[in-house]
Amino acid sequence: MPHGTCALCRESADLQDGHLIAKGFYKAVREPASVISNPVLVTASTTFQTSEQVSDYLLCRRCELRLAQNGEEWVLRNSPHRNGRFPMREALLRSPIKSTIRAGESYKEPYDSAFDLERLVYFAASVFWRASVHTWDRVKHLMERAPLPLELNEQLRLFLLHLGAFPIDAVLLISVSASKPLPHIIFPQANKRANLTDIIGYDFAVPGLQFRLMYGNIPDLMKQISVAVPPHAVLLTDLVEREIKARRDELRKTSRMVGSLGSAAS
C-alpha cells in the first residue's frame, strides 16, 4: 500500500486501491445467461468485453469511505437489478411533479422519499472529479483523462468534502433510462456537440443512468436545467439507450460488438 498525499483531503496517508466505477456496477452488467461473462465497456474508441477494472491509488481510506457512503452505495443499491427491478426509477415514478418535454419526462422536487437526489449528485461529482484530477495510468487502454479546469476541480473537491456547494458555473444533467437499461458502462469521455462548440463537457454512464457535466460559455437558461440548482430536474428518457445504440452503430466499423450491444434487433 503506497504512502502519499490523498487527492481529496490532501492529508498524508496510506493510499487505497480505489475504483473509478465501483465493482458492483460491473456485476450488474454481466449477462450470465448469455455468452457474455464479462462486462461490456464502451470507451471513446471501442466497445469490448473485459473484466479489467479502472482502479488506482488516489485516496486515503477515509475518503474512499466518504465517496462510497455519500453516493456510490446508494446508487448501486438502487440501480437496475437482474430481476428487472430498478428501485431508483420506481421512486422517481412515484414523485408527484413532472412535465413532458421533447426528450421525455422532466421530474422536479419534491421527490419521493426513496429518491435520494443528494447522493445521486454526489456520486456524479465523485466520478467526474476523479476522472479529472488523475491519469489512471494502469488502464490507459480503457480510458483517457477527462480534465476539468483547475477552478472547477477545486470546487468539486470542496463539494465532495461537504465544504462547498456544487460549482455554480457547471451544469450537471442526470438521465434515468425510461426503457430497459442496456448492460454497459461508459467511462467519462468528452461529448462533442457540433452546434455548441464553446460548451465543453463530459459524459459517463452506468446501467440505467447517464451523467453529463458541462462548463464554458453556458447560457443562463441552460444553467437553470442543471440538477444541482432548484427545481433540481431529473430526466426520465429513452434517449440514453438510443444514444448508446447510435454510438454502437458508429463503432461497429472498428469494434467487435458483444452481448446485447451486438444484437441488431435491439
Cβ–Cβ under 8 Å, residues 91 and 78: yes
User: What is the nearest approach in angstroms of Zn ion to the Cβ of residue 9?
Assistant: 3
Rounded to a whole number of angstroms, the minimum distance from the CB of residue 139 to Zn ion is 22
CB of 76 to Zn ion, least distance (A): 21
| Min separation Cβ 19 and Zn ion, Å | 16
- The closest alpha carbon to 21, from 136, 158, 161, 190, belongs to 136
What's at 134, amino acid-wise? H
The residue (of 62 and 94) whose beta carbon lies closer to Zn ion is 62
6/174 with CB nearer Zn ion: 6
Report the alpha-carbon distance of residue 126 to residue 169 in Å, rounded.
Answer: 17
Q: Which is nearer to Zn ion, 159 or 215 (CB)?
A: 159
Q: How far is the CB of 10 from Zn ion (least distance, A)?
A: 7
Q: How far is the CB of 5 from Zn ion (least distance, A)?
A: 9
Q: How far is the CB of 108 from Zn ion (least distance, A)?
A: 35
Residue 123 or 215 with smaller CB distance to Zn ion: 123
* Surface-to-core class of residue 225, CB atoms within 10 Å of its CB (0-12 exposed, 13-18 middle, 19+ buried): middle
Of 8 and 240, the one with the shorter C-beta distance to Zn ion is 8
Write the DSSP string, the chain.
Answer: --EEE-TTT--EEEEEEEESS-HHHHHHH--TTSS--S-EEE-SS-EEE-----EEEEEEHHHHHHHIIIIIHHHHHTSPPTTS--HHHHHHHH-SEEEEETTEEEEESSPPTT--HHHHHHHHHHHHHHHHH---GGGTTT-------HHHHHHHHHHHTTSSPPPTT-EEEEEEESSPPPS-EEEEEE---TT-TTEEEEEEEETTEEEEEEEES--HHHHTT-TTSTT--EEEESHHHHHHHHHHHHHTTTS---GGGG-TT-
**In terms of CB distance, is 64 or 241 closer to Zn ion?**
64
Residues that bind Zn ion (CB under 5 A): 6, 8-9, 60, 63
Nearest residue (CB) to Zn ion, 16 versus 226 = 16
Instruction: Supply the minimum distance, in Å, between the C-beta of residue 11 and Zn ion.
Output: 6
Among residues 60 and 251, whose Cβ is nearest to Zn ion? 60
